[in-house]
Structure 1
Amino acid sequence: MTGGIVLWSRSFTPTDDQFIASTSPVNSLIRDVLIEGRTAENHYEKDGYSIKWSLVNNLDLIFVVAYQRILQLTYPEEFLNALKTLFMELFSPFLTTFVGSLRAVQRSAVPTVDISVFNFRQAFLGWDAKFDKLLAVFEERARKDRNSRLRPQPKPFAAIERESSTDSLDTLPTQVSDSGPNSAEEIARNVAAFKTRMRGGAISRRGGKKGGKHSGTAGSDSDTAVSGRRKTEKVARTWNDSAITEQDMAALDFSTDRPSDTESTFKPELGSLIDETSLGTKKDGIYEVKDWDFVSKSEDDEQDNLISKAINKSLSNGNGVNEVAQQSTSTLGSIFARLTGSKILTDQDLKPVLSAMKEHLMNKNVAKDIAEQVCEGVGETLKGKKIGGFRGIKAEVQAALSTTITRILTPKTSTDLLLSIRTKLSSAATSTSSAGRVPYAITFVGVNGVGKSTNLSKVCFWLIQNGLRVLIAACDTFRSGAVEQLRVHVRNLSMLSAKDNDSPMVELYERGYGKDAAAIARDAISYAKDSGFDVVLIDTAGRMQDNEPLMRALAKLVSTNNPDKVIFVGEALVGNEAVDQLSKFDRSLKDFSTIAGGPGKGRGIDGMLVTKWDTVDDKVGAALSMTYVTGQPILFVGCGQTYTDLRQLRVNNVVQALLS
């Protein structure tokens, strides 16, 4: 500190003799720079040491880093800024109190201050470990930078092309007719020969030989001696408009893991398909997935976040740290603190509180319009209410917000999907109708890339664990690889549910690409009925919510097959976009329906499955936004890469995360 108090120091020199009072570079800095007022220089060299420092004027603090100049370190300035930011984040309240006491003595407001009251050892407990962690980050970054500079850089591709094609350029066809310039036909032949020569050179470079197919005689002894076998001529493929056969497919299959007569197909490790720690619980023959539990960040996580924040701030802007001690925290406590005293709350009292509350919800990824409406509901609940004292105000406002969010998230219909499935199957089994047992059908819809197929497979795993036979209908006939993706999932799920002398627990129903998805879904349900499947999971192609032709096709699939559930699959990462996607999917399914009374009378969304839930921590506002739009429940959330990474969402956990 500028008053001469050393709050903390660390030395990495072998002995302390170099840092005695007469030769210490820090003492030289104080004597030659700080006392003389040359603080703007920010860099000082003395006795082979380079010294950098930074000031926090409002607290009279000085942060100093000294290192041997011969080391030529590149990160001291960034490290100093990060160090200052982290120190202020952690100890700003203590330092503010301590400096305030010293200044009171200087103003003679108090006769003296007992410094021993301030326990520096206890106040800075744990700082050594944080300092070491911060320093290790910068040292590792510097090491990687040195390695990248020492690593030889590859030659530019253009230079390699020029070097490797020199001999080809020397042998270009340069025939010129005696009668004059080349004709157009001759020029075309020359260009074709040039392209052929260049392709040959590229192939030779990749194969490790030079000269292409003209580099040697086809049947020469030298070639035979080197390779041990004769070269085979490449046979041209024949393409026609006839239907492709299985033999043609096998001939064109150049994948490295294709099945052969001597080796079995690739089988993944079962440990990579399920996570033992994510498995649900089985009780009374019912397998239930785990609940998603909101867990607040541990102290270590908070410290790591502070270190990351300090590093990022030092890299982006080393200045402006002085405001750290003055800025207030953005917690709900600061929101409630705006209301004080015993009074009857009015609109004027609630306006700043509700505005801050809206910002808090938006920071939790709640859509803007919905955050406004939620806060309006809270305001209507509190307006005209008489409350007194800070704790009473805090309890009232928080209770009102919690009640409003709970009311929105509480499902209007049952979320027990397994009960719904078994009820339908049991009622069909006792029915005297000749129609037979119709399987329970679930259709998964959503925009592109949200993870419909992957999370459909997670739901399939959950159903299989409950003893239900599942048929997956591949109705995404548009995206390349969609059918193959489901085929891999079915293969993996079959391995996980394999039973001796039993029918397969999961099968794939597919008819390739370019077909009518509604017809495939209809045939799949019919096949499942005849084959004794319990559930049909219908995978559909992803589509944007504004694409009317594709939305009409989706409405046709739903209205034609009338599935028991239509589940919208959305991402937890989106805020306002989630509302737009879900509302337009719901509206399009109702408006473009061809049955149930015509436009506007069709089926809408029956529930949601929110993916990538593990990427948002406590920013779970997408759950509030989606439920608010449709009034339908969130059945599951996906939170990982294995088939066991499926969770149920409890209302109180979401409320706790939103209010954290």
Structure 2
Amino acid sequence: MLDHCSISHKGGIVLWSRSFTPAAAQATASSSSPVNSLIREALIEGRTAEDKYEKDGYAVKWTFVNDLELIFVVAYQRILQLTYIDELLATLKSIFVKLFEPFLATFIASLHAASKGKILSTVGETAATWDFSKAFENWDAVFNKILHGLESKATQDRRTRFKPTQMAVEPSPPTDDMSLIPSESVEASVDEEQIARNVQALKNRLRGRGARGGRRGSGRSDIGSGRDSLPGSDSDTPAKRKTKSKTQRKWGNEAPTESDMASLDFSYEKPGDAVNAAPDLNSLVDETSLGIRTQDGMYEVKDWEFGTKNSVADDMISKALNSSQASKPAPSGSLGALGSLFARITGSKVLTEEDLKPVLEGMKQHLMKKNVAKEISEKVCEGVGESLVGKKVGGFQTTNAAVRAALSNSITRILTPKTSTDLLLSIRTKLSTPLPSTQQRMPYSITFVGVNGVGKSTNLSKVCFWLIQNGLRVLIAACDTFRSGAVEQLRVHVRNLSMLGVNGATDSKGRVELYEKGYGKDAAGIAKEAIAYGRDNDFDVVLIDTAGRMQDNEPLMRALAKLVATNNPDKIIFVGEALVGNEAVDQLTKFDRALRDFSSASGGNGKERGIDGMLVTKWDTVDDKVGAALSMTYVTGQPIIFVGCGQTYTDLRQLRVSNVVQAILAD
């Protein structure tokens, strides 16, 4: 992945440039950028014959167009082995010159005319009068196509390089002169013969083992059996087999030493460790998914919108299909069945339960197809039926509209939040509330709870990125002291978030920190210490990560309730999957009930604490089957604050009720 690409004039005028990561944009804007260092330390000094230039973890390559005095520069992470850079530079140079040579020639001539008097300010003023963005407005699309083609080609080459190739080898006449045969062919033939012998020996060994039928005391030696004895195989002598024993691991009751722990710890960066090298920041932030800034400077995540994935061509095709099928009867499934069911009701009629029964059954099936839990679907349909019984309708269109309106109103009422979903407002309200001079301000604390494997830690880091974008200092408390790798996972997230920073471009070290005490400790105690640490070090928000647990595990639910009762967090957010249907109801009901029952009995001053909101993960995997949102909101009465919809820190969305209703009602 590239970090930066630019096309410049040798006089220092940048004609076109693009930065692919926030860090690259920040570095390019600074005087110590790798491109500026290239100009100062390589081009000006005349070291242009070097293959590439390296600076601060970047590798820079370049090429010239001398007659037009142009420099093409590409910068990328030094640890990456990008094989297409030279071809990219050559292609860019060739196509750019062909497309814009008349404009470039005129521009260069004007610079030469302005520089005849050796007045630099005149040269700068002359360059400023040229509108490069307009002159090269089509170049972005061309560049994208070139880059995408070369990256795809490199990926394909990399795949074929590691895929075994099957070559048809024709028999050659016998010869005594081995020098006439390439050494590669000799090695290949030897390898094929060796593989064939290995396979045959393995078949014979398995066949012999089956024939013996597991008889004890049978000989295992292959000597004299007619089978090939392979070096390093099971047919070697017993003495040789004993030397190939597995390295023994250290087990026992004694604690591991510091050197043992260091050899097994892969969470910290180590010198020369490419795995733990700095990540590609472009893979952490999707610029197309970045939120928006409000007028007061607050950073808001994007709204999830249903149906925005369709292109203009898809819309045109859809309209054409709809117009061609306008005369056809409505489909017999989903909500399309509602129209056909009501088609038999003609004229003015007062609806009865018998009239609505088949319609409500079709409605229930439709909701279940949208991933709404069966129990919730039945209750929603009952509510719709109650609102329609006794209502006077007339005509097909009026009846169909009445049913849809009733269903839409019912779903809207369920999804409409009973409490505020503006988490940022709650945080700022607490932080700005006046306190007595003797009282120290406590940070806003949020506890993330949920079952195993739903993505609590990952989506906690997305919320952390959103908070950092709003200028808040965040402390992450690693209270999952059970799952192996949980602390290391958060440590990696904190490292990445420290490099991204505000607006994805500014270094945010000091804005996010991890508080951890290792494994096997009391999670409630660690959370309490983390909140106290956040208070003493002026952190605004403490995000508490907890271990995943099943809703039926009473000891673990009691431990979670103890954490809640001991620390009394400002928000308890349940993290659940968008993929679940009926299971969502069971998870939420038991989680909320267990928290309320056990928290009041765990020293929380008799105060019940239940779930305050929800974060639904894997939202991008369900398309319009968003029924889990309806099920979760129906069970708890609490709002869905965010939904996770991707793999980067910007893949966080907030739900609008109208968008969810539209997705549920869609056929």
TM-score w.r.t. length of structure 2? 0.60
Q: Say which SS state the counterpart of residue 472 (structure 2) adopts.
A: coil
Alignment counterpart, residue 463 of structure 2, candidates 459, 464, 467: 459
Residue 621 (str. 1) matches residue 632 (str. 2): no
Alignment counterpart, residue 283 of structure 2, candidates 272, 285, 296: 272
Q: Rate the CA distance shift 1:527–1:597 in 2: closer, same or farther, 3 A.
A: closer
Distance in 2, Cα, partners of 1:259 & 1:150: 40
Aligned pairs (5 A) from 1:23-422:
197-198=240-241, 200-201=243-244, 243-250=255-262, 252-253=263-264, 259-260=270-271, 266-283=277-294, 284-295=296-307, 298=310, 328-339=331-342, 340-341=345-346, 342-422=348-428
Distance in 2, Cα, partners of 1:582 & 1:468: 30
> Offset of 1:621 from its aligned partner?
0.3
Contact 1:477 1:515 in 2 (8 A): yes
Contact 1:590 1:599 in 2 (8 A): no
Residue 585 (str. 1) matches residue 591 (str. 2): yes
Distance in 2, Cα, partners of 1:282 & 1:547: 43
> Offset of 1:198 from its aligned partner?
2.7
Residue 509 (str. 1) matches residue 512 (str. 2): no
Contact 1:456 1:537 in 2 (8 A): yes
CA deviation vs aligned residue, 1:130-170 (integer Å, no higher than 9, x gap): xxxxxxxxxxxxxxxxx99979998799867689999x976
Report what 1:439 is aligned to. 443
Distance in 1, Cα, partners of 2:364 & 2:523: 43
Contact 1:590 1:600 in 2 (8 A): no
Distance in 2, Cα, partners of 1:375 & 1:552: 36
Q: Rate the CA distance shift 1:576–1:245 in 2: closer, same or farther, 3 A.
A: same
Aligned pairs (5 A) from 1:604-643:
604-643=610-649
CA deviation vs aligned residue, 1:448-496 (integer Å, no higher than 9, x gap): 1100000000000000000011111111111111111111111100111
> Offset of 1:593 from its aligned partner?
1.5
Contact 2:614 2:642 in 1 (8 A): yes
Q: Between Structure 1 and Structure 2, whose CA radius of gyration is higher?
A: 1
Q: Say which SS state the counterpart of residue 635 (structure 1) adopts.
A: strand
* One-letter amino acid of the counterpart of residue 548, structure 1: E
Contact 1:476 1:517 in 2 (8 A): yes
CA deviation vs aligned residue, 1:525-583 (integer Å, no higher than 9, x gap): 11111111110111111111111111111111111111000000000001000010011
* One-letter amino acid of the counterpart of residue 338, structure 1: L
Question: Among the aligned pairs, what percent are the same residue?
Answer: 65
Report what 2:572 is aligned to. 566
Distance in 2, Cα, partners of 1:421 & 1:149: 60
> Offset of 1:195 from its aligned partner?
7.5
Distance in 2, Cα, partners of 1:629 & 1:513: 34
Query: Unaligned regions of 5+ residues in structure 2, if any?
Result: 1-162, 169-191, 209-218, 224-235, 319-327
Distance in 2, Cα, partners of 1:559 & 1:347: 48
Contact 1:591 1:601 in 2 (8 A): no
> Offset of 1:338 from its aligned partner?
1.5
* One-letter amino acid of the counterpart of residue 479, structure 2: C
CA deviation vs aligned residue, 1:381-412 (integer Å, no higher than 9, x gap): 01101011111111111111100000000000
Q: Say which SS state the counterpart of residue 518 (structure 2) adopts.
A: coil
Q: Say which SS state the counterpart of residue 593 (structure 1) adopts.
A: helix
Q: Rate the CA distance shift 1:416–1:297 in 2: closer, same or farther, 3 A.
A: closer
Report what 2:547 is aligned to. 541
Contact 2:334 2:365 in 1 (8 A): no
Report what 1:482 is aligned to. 486
Q: Say which SS state the counterpart of residue 624 (structure 1) adopts.
A: helix
Distance in 2, Cα, partners of 1:563 & 1:257: 31
Alignment counterpart, residue 472 of structure 1, candidates 472, 476, 480: 476
> Offset of 1:592 from its aligned partner?
1.1
Contact 2:571 2:612 in 1 (8 A): yes
Report what 1:657 is aligned to. 663
Report what 2:563 is aligned to. 557
CA RMSD of aligned residues (A): 3.9
* One-letter amino acid of the counterpart of residue 528, structure 1: G
CA deviation vs aligned residue, 1:428-460 (integer Å, no higher than 9, x gap): xx2115230100010000011100000000000
Distance in 2, Cα, partners of 1:518 & 1:440: 17
> Offset of 1:249 from its aligned partner?
2.8
Q: Rate the CA distance shift 1:264–1:381 in 2: closer, same or farther, 3 A.
A: closer
Of the structure 1 ranges 268-277 and 337-346, higher mean CA displacement relative to structure 2 is found in 337-346
* One-letter amino acid of the counterpart of residue 276, structure 1: E
> Offset of 1:247 from its aligned partner?
3.8
Query: Unaligned regions of 5+ residues in structure 1, if any?
Result: 1-146, 173-192, 204-233, 306-324
